Structure 1
Amino acid sequence: MGLLTFPLKYIAKKVFGEVEIGSAFEDPFFEEVEFEKRSFWSGSTKIVKKRRDKSIPERVPEIDGKILRRVRKRAYRLDMAFHIGGVRFGWLGVIGILPVVGDLMILWLSLQVYREAMKVTGGLPPAVSAQMLTNIALDFGLGLIPIVGDFVSVCYKANSRNVLVLEKFLKNKYHRVAAPVAAPRRVPITQ
């Protein structure tokens, strides 16, 4: 660990405890895939793990899938685009350095991500909408604290949390949609 990352991670752990985004530290942007790799020379195989962009859940329609993809892309740029010394941060971490104007810009950009998420078919229910707005408000409130607030805000990653909330909502929404029932067969009547 670098000289700078240890104090940041220590402070974040003290403030938030062991915070997990989603369940079991779920990554909102990438998934790990295992595949079998065969050696060209010896023919032996070994299992290799590789990260790839997270796929859209199967039952989610194309329209909502495109929205989820756009929200993921925007949230990734805002929360996790850069990697320095073991700490991932995005444009919000850079903009947050500006005292009050930066925090207002962060709020506006986070609300743009939320507005994009609201475009899903049928909109978002009030509970999901409130959860996403709470993440944004908490991030904004923490960012207003001078110096320390910017570091805590970088660790909180409200937009990444909102991506997971949206994905969970879409999975639950379209999981309940049952497969279409086949029409009953008509038996011809013979006379």
Structure 2
Amino acid sequence: MTSKLGAYVTRKLGEQVLGDFSKKFEAESPFYYHDAKGKKKRKKSKYRVPGVSEHDNKVLASVRNRAWALDMCLMHCGGFRVGWSALIGLFPVVGDVIDFMFALWVIRKADQIEGGLPPVLRAKMYAFIVVDLAGGFVPFFGDIFDAIYKANSRNAWLLEDYLAKKAVAEHEGPAHAIDDIELGIAGPPHQPQQVHNSRKAQKHGK
């Protein structure tokens, strides 16, 4: 009975903590992809995001591997994969600080992409690991929170999402750019030329 109650609480906590991110992470995970037949496969170190430079793909692969080791590599626990981060966090305070340093290591690696990370994206990555650190200080539930929250996996996904959008903006041109100011990518202007032309037409009409 106790184990069932614990599993239920863990599942509900996961739903509250992850929110919509869990659904999007499942669909666009930094660790998995779907092949031409729709079969789910794990991305290996040779996986490359189309349109992204060789250097940035190597940085992404390194970030993905580090995030996998910290968040996913060891075992399934209560319906969630856990990695070294969850085990390190079992040691009160000291473990949480060490885990935070590893998370900083992931972000610093991500910042090695060409041009570096946009300030807003970097701030969001830092916010994820600060939330993870604060949650880890809560006795017992902090360890569950750390295993579910997966700040490193979130940051790996953010990096891949940013690089993919950046590639679209660079290779397809401004007309096909994805408007995402938060990630430092601006889409096409909202047709200022049409407004200008309409004003001209009004003048000619007069």
Cα distance in 2 between the residues matched to 1:34 and 1:146? 45
**For residues 113-159 of structure 1, what are the alpha-carbon distances to aligned partners after superposition, in whole Å with 9 as ceiling and x for unaligned?**
00100100111110110011011111111111111111011100000
2:70 aligns with one of 65, 72, 78 = 78
Write 1 or 2 for the structure with the bigger share of helix. 2
User: Are the counterparts in 1 of residues 82 and 147 from structure 2 also a CA contact under 8 Å?
Assistant: yes
User: Are the counterparts in 2 of residues 32 and 51 from structure 1 also a CA contact under 8 Å?
Assistant: yes
Cα distance in 1 between the residues matched to 2:171 and 2:132? 38
Q: What amino acid is the match of 1:121?
A: E
Q: How many residues end up aligned between the 2 structures?
A: 166
Cα distance in 2 between the residues matched to 1:161 and 1:172? 17
**For residues 95-122 of structure 1, what are the alpha-carbon distances to aligned partners after superposition, in whole Å with 9 as ceiling and x for unaligned?**
0000010000010000000010010011
Tell me the residue number matched to 1:11: 13
SS of the residue aligned with 2:134? helix
User: Are the counterparts in 1 of residues 80 and 147 from structure 2 also a CA contact under 8 Å?
Assistant: no
Tell me the residue number matched to 2:133: 140
Tell me the residue number matched to 1:42: none
Tell me the residue number matched to 1:184: none
1:21/1:161 CA distance change after superposition, 3 Å: farther
2:43 aligns with one of 48, 53, 59 = 53
Q: Does 1:29 align with 2:31?
A: yes
Q: Does 1:166 align with 2:168?
A: no
Gaps of 5+ in 2: 174-206
User: Could you tell me how far 1:50 is from its partner in structure 2?
Assistant: 4.2
Cα distance in 2 between the residues matched to 1:50 and 1:88? 16
SS of the residue aligned with 1:152? helix
Tell me the residue number matched to 2:88: 95
Report the TM-score when normalising by structure 1: 0.78
Write 1 or 2 for the structure with the bigger share of strand. 1
Report the TM-score when normalising by structure 2: 0.73
Cα distance in 2 between the residues matched to 1:115 and 1:8? 31
Q: What amino acid is the match of 2:19?
A: E
Q: Does 1:123 align with 2:87?
A: no
